[in-house]
Amino acid sequence: MKRIIALLTAALLCLCACGEPTEMEPEGEAAGVVLNVVTSFGSDDGNRRNYEAAIASYESATGNQVMDSSANSNEGWKTTVLTDFMTGSEPDVLFYFTNADADPFIHADKVVSIEEIRREYPDYATNMKESMMKESFDGRHYAVPASGYWETMFVNRAVLDKCGVPMPGPDYTWAQFLTDCAAIREAGYTPIACSLYEIPHYWFEFAVMNNGSLSNHGEVPRVDADGRLVDDEAARKWIAALEDLRLLYESGYFPDNTLTATDAETVALFGEGQAAFLVDGSWKVGYLTKNYPHHLRDYAVSYVPGKGERVASDAVGGISMGYFITRRAWDDHDKREAAVEFVFHMTSEEVLSTFVTTEMTALVNGIETTGLNSLQQSAADANIHITGLSGAVQDTISGEAKRALFNNVQRVVTGQMSAAEAVELAIRLN
């Protein structure tokens, strides 16, 4: 194992120094192990080239081969992955979600825990912060975390300057935000780029936290035996969150076509300098860089305004994906070490530094990034001031409940349904 780690390190140094993997012969006889690997780094993923480079350096260092069956991380891909596990067609290594999406194959003992792997490979995943490893239902850890996401507020500085609105900071309050939105609207710009038709959930997440706190963000409302909503703190903050969305809608702070517009259309308002604020995730840094390269200096990453117990520097996010080694590979004498080597390689500081610019990482020593554009640097600077993170509460409810909740947002903001009714209907389906 030490020999392999040395070889991988050498390959990685070449990768980082040259930008492309350098051919090198592995010491001794090539194992020639073929690993079937599935990840979310599909053809249009922004990190696809980095992933392919990392694969090439692994193959060069070890003599092993990677059969890549990656696709994009949509719902169809999730279904395919779970079906493969059910039919005995699972891969050797899987890069997948670490939340409840992974429960089916963990319950079925289809993946190997980090604790079990460490009995043979004591250094496995020791470069990661234990606190950022997702604990499963059995108290064990299965996925080696890679990079994580954050959700916060992007601002168009050019629009703010034209409206005489200062740049929001980590102490930004809800009251000041409403005042700023009024000034932006008065100046003839759209305050908030948001599609309540397609992407209402980012604002809902923060509205829930604003009406509760970082510590209780993950609490979900309940219904009683008769299907009636239980009047507790969780229910009250969800109701208040929807009422805050109604306030923003009634005040005219969303785009005029927010009830019919696509996410792409409303993001274009922000990108083209017609809207001031956009609440979205870390992935939008890459999207804006690709689609609006000539306007990057107009954009900055800031903070969603805080209300009540929540401060603006409390954000939604976390380590959402990681590498699993399947029981199939672990029980295969030839593949066991190859799979461990692969995960070690893909979660090393050298490889992750090519993937991560503005995303979070679980690496104990972190990473240093260079050559960032202005938007990426703004995100990196803003991340320094994040005081707390909570996973998305929407990820803790069923897909059916989620669809019902967000499909009814339009009815709530237009007064066709009360916020309490929308929450109750959704939780009945949970």
Tell me the pLDDT tens digit for each residue of 390-400.
Answer: 889 998 898 89
| Helix runs in 211-314, H state only | 233-250, 263-271, 283-291
pLDDT given for residue 136 in this prediction: 87
**Backbone φ and ψ of 240, nearest 5°:** -60, -35
Question: Is pLDDT of 359 > 80?
Answer: no
pLDDT over 80 (residue 16): no
Exposed, middle or buried: residue 131 (CB in 10 Å: 0-12, 13-18, 19+)? exposed
Task: Kindly report, residue by residue over 176-231, the tens digit of the pLDDT.
Answer: 999 999 999 999 999 999 999 999 999 999 999 999 999 999 999 999 999 999 99
352: confidence class by pLDDT, cuts 50, 70, 90: confident
Residue 249 pLDDT greater than 60, yes or no: yes
Decide if pLDDT at 373 tops 50.
Answer: yes
Q: Walk me through the domains of the chain, giving residue ranges and CATH numbers.
A: 2-146+319-361 (3.40.190.10), 150-317+374-428 (3.40.190.10)
Phi-psi region of 125 (alpha: psi -120 to 50; beta: other; left: phi over 0): left
**φ, ψ of residue 247 in degrees (nearest 5):** -60, -45
Q: Is the pLDDT of residue 15 over 80?
A: no
What does the pLDDT read at residue 256? 97
Digit-coded pLDDT (tens) for 49-81: 889 999 999 999 999 999 998 887 777 888 899
The amino acid sitting at 236 is R
Assign 24 a pLDDT band (cuts: 50, 70, 90).
very low
| pLDDT of the residue at 18 | 45
pLDDT confidence band for 108 (50 / 70 / 90): very high
- What pLDDT does 17 receive? 46
Query: Taking 50 as the threshold, does the pLDDT of residue 23 lie above it?
Result: no
Least confident of 40-44, 92-96, 261-265: 40-44
Lookup: tokens for 123: 């250094």
Q: Residue 330: which residues within 8 A CB-CB, separation 6 or more?
A: 112, 116, 117, 336, 339
Least confident of 7-21, 213-227, 387-401, 410-424: 7-21
Asked if 360 and 150 count as a contact pair (C-beta separation under 8 A), the reply is yes
Higher-scoring residue by pLDDT: 12, 308: 308
pTM for the complete prediction? 0.72
Name the average pLDDT for the chain: 89
- Higher local confidence (pLDDT), 77 or 366: 77
* pLDDT for residue 19 is more than 50: no
Distances (CA, A) of 412 to 68, 186, 243, 250, 292: 45, 25, 8, 11, 34
| Torsions phi, psi for 234 (to 5 deg) | -60, -45
User: Which residues share a beta bridge with 155?
Assistant: 277, 300
Measured from the Cβ of residue 402, the count of other Cβ atoms closer than 10 Å reads 17
Report the length, in residues, of the chain. 430
